[in-house]
Amino acid sequence: MIADPNLSHWHILGAGAIGGLWALRLHSIGCRVTLIERAPLSPERRLQLTDNSHSSCHDFPVVAANAAALPLSPLLVTTKAGDTIDVIAALLPRLNAGDIVLLLQNGMGIDDWLRQQRPDLQILTAITTDGVFRPTRDHLVMAGHGETLTGGNTAVEQETAMQIALQWQKTGEVVQAVTDIQRRRWQKLAINCAINPLTARYRCRNGALLDMPEALSAMRSICAEVAEVMSLEGYPASTASLYDAACAVARQTATNTSSMLADIQAQRPTEIDFMNGHIVTMARKHGIATPSNARITAEIRALHPQPASSN
Ligand code: PAF
């Protein structure tokens, strides 16, 4: 018999664009939401969302990571991958066995680290194609409604993912629990590996990559290596399918500044260690070389000092 998870009070770690969006969406369906920050600037944060001509806002309580009242579950983690380990490490002693942690972030590697630290937690992952940007820290502007997929690795986690999807669907958004979330995360990772660092290398919008033969050739070699690693990890993929998918996303998001280019422009650490750097780490585990991914990882790392990597 699977226990019905209590999903009435969400804690959100890292309320940036996606975390802030889900704070407002969950509040709109009657959930309590508490924001957790490393060093809160104030005890409340007013988040505002503009979606076409409609605007909504709410004041959320904000607590420091080491002072949040228990229980912290369910905990939605939307921090950038590189910022996650430090701040989750501070929360780990305060999470109980069975607590729900849902990771909704770009890149891969954090869930493996968390499972090693705390195999007793329910660790779910999610990916989204929602587009939202922040003209200011607390103002979110919806660029496009996408789809959010979630899932877990065990039967209990999968059941929880279904409960969460059912709850989140009440916001009117497209949310689904899927049984192959890891495969889908790998596919998303492949697209990020092929687009993000190249937009940073060439300082261009996503669509401009399609007009540069050298960028397309680099995309293809990155995809070939990712396909090899994916296949060794048990998620068979071909170079052509990953390359075509990356080109299609670059076309659909032609005018976007990728998250990695935005990080470079703002002189923030990038997520390279959790994208192409993750490919290099996984390849090494399988005893193969991934020179294109290694080269671009080193190049992007050199543009900005990275936080200590988990990989
Ligand atoms: O990280 C990003 O910027 C996005 O995932 C994507 C798909 C590359 C579009 O900009």
Q: For position 307, what pLDDT does the model report?
A: 52
Q: For position 68, what pLDDT does the model report?
A: 80
* CA 124 – CA 25 distance, rounded (Å): 19
Q: Label each residue of the chain as H, E or C.
A: CCCCCCCCEEEEECCCHHHHHHHHHHHHCCCEEEEEECCCCCCEEEEEEEECCEEEEEEEEEEECCCCCCCCCCEEECCCHHHHHHHHHHHHHHCCCCCEEEEECCCCCHHHHHHHHCCCCEEEEEEECCEEEEEECCEEEEEECCEEEEECCCHHHHHHHHHHHHHHHCCCCEEEECCCHHHHHHHHHHHHHHHHHHHHHHCCCHHHHHHCHHHHHHHHHHHHHHHHHHHHCCCCCCHHHHHHHHHHHHHHCCCCCCHHHHHHHCCCCCCHHHCHHHHHHHHHHCCCCCHHHHHHHHHHHHHCCCCCCCC
176-214: per-residue pLDDT in tens?
Answer: 999 999 999 999 999 999 999 999 999 999 999 999 999
Average model confidence (pLDDT) for the chain?
Answer: 94
Lowest mean pLDDT among 15-19, 188-192, 263-267, 306-310: 306-310
Residue 311 has pLDDT above 60, yes or no: no
Average confidence (pLDDT) over 227-253: 97
Sign of CA dihedral 295, 106, 309, 307: positive
Q: Cα of 120 to ligand 1 centre, how many Å? A: 32
Q: For position 90, what pLDDT does the model report?
A: 87
102-116: per-residue pLDDT in tens?
Answer: 999 999 999 999 999
Q: Is the CB of 199 under 6 A from ligand 1?
A: no
The Cα-based distances of 69 to 24, 35, 101, 155 in angstroms read 21, 12, 16, 29
pLDDT band at 130 (very low <50, low <70, confident <90, very high): very high
Q: Is 285 a catalytic residue?
A: no
Residue 308 has pLDDT above 50, yes or no: no
Residue to mutate (ligand 1; options 80, 195, 198, 271; most atoms within 8 A of CB): 195
155-173: per-residue pLDDT in tens?
Answer: 999 999 999 999 999 999 9
Residue 1 has pLDDT above 90, yes or no: no
* CA 269 – CA 251 distance, rounded (Å): 26
Q: Which ligand 1 atom sits closest to the C-alpha of 196?
A: 8
Structural domains in the chain plus CATH codes: 9-179 (3.40.50.720), 182-303 (1.10.1040.10)
pLDDT band at 305 (very low <50, low <70, confident <90, very high): low
Q: Cα of 259 to ligand 1 centre, how many Å? A: 6
Residue 310 has pLDDT above 50, yes or no: no
Residue to mutate (ligand 1; options 18, 202, 249; most atoms within 8 A of CB): 249
Q: Cα of 196 to ligand 1 centre, how many Å? A: 7
Residue 4 has pLDDT above 80, yes or no: no
Q: Is the CB of 276 under 6 A from ligand 1?
A: no
Percent of the chain topping pLDDT 70: 96
Q: Is the CB of 258 under 6 A from ligand 1?
A: yes
Residue 149 has pLDDT above 90, yes or no: yes
* CA 107 – CA 85 distance, rounded (Å): 13
Q: For position 69, what pLDDT does the model report?
A: 82
Q: Cα of 133 to ligand 1 centre, how many Å? A: 12
Q: Which ligand 1 atom sits closest to the C-alpha of 192?
A: 8
Q: Is the CB of 256 under 6 A from ligand 1?
A: yes
Q: Is the CB of 78 under 6 A from ligand 1?
A: no
